[in-house]
Amino acid sequence: MSAAPARRWRPPPLIASPWLRYGLALGAAVYLALALGSVEVNWARLSEGWARGLRFLSGFAAPDFSRRWDDIAQGMVESLTMTVTATVAGIAISVPIGIGAARNLVPLPVYLVCRAIVALSRALHEIVVAILLVALVGFGPFAGFLTLAFATIGFLAKLLAEDIEDADAAPIEAVRATGAPWLSLVAFGVLPQVAPRLLGLSLYRLDINFRESAVVGIVGAGGIGATLNTAIDRYEFDSAAAVLILIIAIVMASEYVSGLVRARVK
């Protein structure tokens, strides 16, 4: 008695249509060939850089905090103060804009204006904003403060608006049924629902703003970025490593603290 030819089971592919699957694979292969072909690699410069790379890695093994300590301390103070003020100011502006960008709370014209502000803030990269603001208000952490506060709006207002739109409609309806005015509706029907997530997002943004504060300094907007830029430009990799280690340590510490706070609030 002959058995039917054995067929092996195969897992189903991620993309069901074979045309699309093989088409995408072919397109990807062609693109890769073109893209890799257009990357110019200067091998002479690379072999020269190899030694520098090793020097940078050894800088990490023996970071030099002392030689540029005054610069590092000043940059860190600027970065940290900039982060705190920009986050607070950014949140203070984002909350009304976020409420305005939630379709279930406001009329259409307000919604469109607030969404436009959010889109503008998200579309412009921090460093481009920083360049423009340095041109407007001069060098220093004030330009960085404005940049980070502006960038915070795009992030926080968007996520807050989405959260408000997802909020449970029943409590809002209940508050409205008592005849509460609009402000009470927001204060008692909406904000209690989104407050824990708003706190979590604010802490997360504090973290992001600190990391970004290291970047805006490169274009003159104050903070640790200026120190880092100088150290790298002079090939002082041990000082650069010291700055990077400080940044990583502060980010790790703030992630740990915000994890604790979020666990308590939830």
Partner 1 sequence: MPVAPLSDGRRAWARRTPAGTLAAWLGWLALVALTVFCWRVMTQDTIWSFVRDAPAQAADIGARMFPPRWSYFPVLLKPLWDTLNIATLGTLAAIVLSVPVAFLAARNTTPSAALVRPAALFVIVASRSINAIIWALLLVAILGPGVLAGICAIALRSIGFIGKLLYEAIEEIDATQVEAVRATGASGPQVLTYAIVPQIMPAFAGISVFRWDINIRESTVLGLVGAGGLGLNLESSLNTLAWPQVTLILIVILATVVASEWISAKVRARFG
Residues contributing to the site for partner 1 (CB under 8 A): 11, 14, 31, 35-36, 38-42, 45-46, 48-49, 52-53, 56, 77-78, 80-82, 84-85, 88, 123-125, 127-128, 131-132, 135-138, 140-142, 145, 211-212, 214-215, 218-219, 222, 225, 228-229, 232-233, 235, 240, 244, 247-248, 251-252, 255
Question: How near is the Cβ of 5 to partner 1 at its closest, in Å?
Answer: 23
Query: Nearer to partner 1 by C-beta: 95 or 240?
Result: 240
Question: How near is the Cβ of 88 to partner 1 at its closest, in Å?
Answer: 5
* Residue 168: C-alpha distances to residues 42, 44, 171, 174, 197 (Å): 58, 62, 7, 11, 14
Query: Nearer to partner 1 by C-beta: 81 or 111?
Result: 81
Query: Nearer to partner 1 by C-beta: 131 or 190?
Result: 131
Query: Nearer to partner 1 by C-beta: 48 or 168?
Result: 48
Question: How near is the Cβ of 198 to partner 1 at its closest, in Å?
Answer: 14
Question: How near is the Cβ of 35 to partner 1 at its closest, in Å?
Answer: 4
Query: Nearer to partner 1 by C-beta: 94 or 229?
Result: 229
Query: Nearer to partner 1 by C-beta: 1 or 36?
Result: 36
Give 159's Cβ-side CA count (13 Å radius): 16
Question: How near is the Cβ of 141 to partner 1 at its closest, in Å?
Answer: 5
Question: How near is the Cβ of 82 to partner 1 at its closest, in Å?
Answer: 6
DSSP per-residue codes, the chain: -PPPPP----PPPSS--HHHHHHHHHHHHHHHHHHHHH----HHHHHHHHHHHHHHHHHHHS---STTHHHHHHHHHHHHHHHHHHHHHHHHHHHHHHHHT-TTTS-HHHHHHHHHHHHHHHHS-HHHHHHHHHHHH-SSHHHHHHHHHHHHHHHHHHHHHHHHHTS-HHHHHHHHHTT--HHHIIIIIIHHHHHHHHHHHHHHHHHHHHHHHHHHGGGTS-SHHHHHHHHHHTT-HHHHHHHHHHHHHHHHHHHHHHHHHHHHH-
Query: Nearer to partner 1 by C-beta: 5 or 11?
Result: 11
Question: How near is the Cβ of 41 to partner 1 at its closest, in Å?
Answer: 6
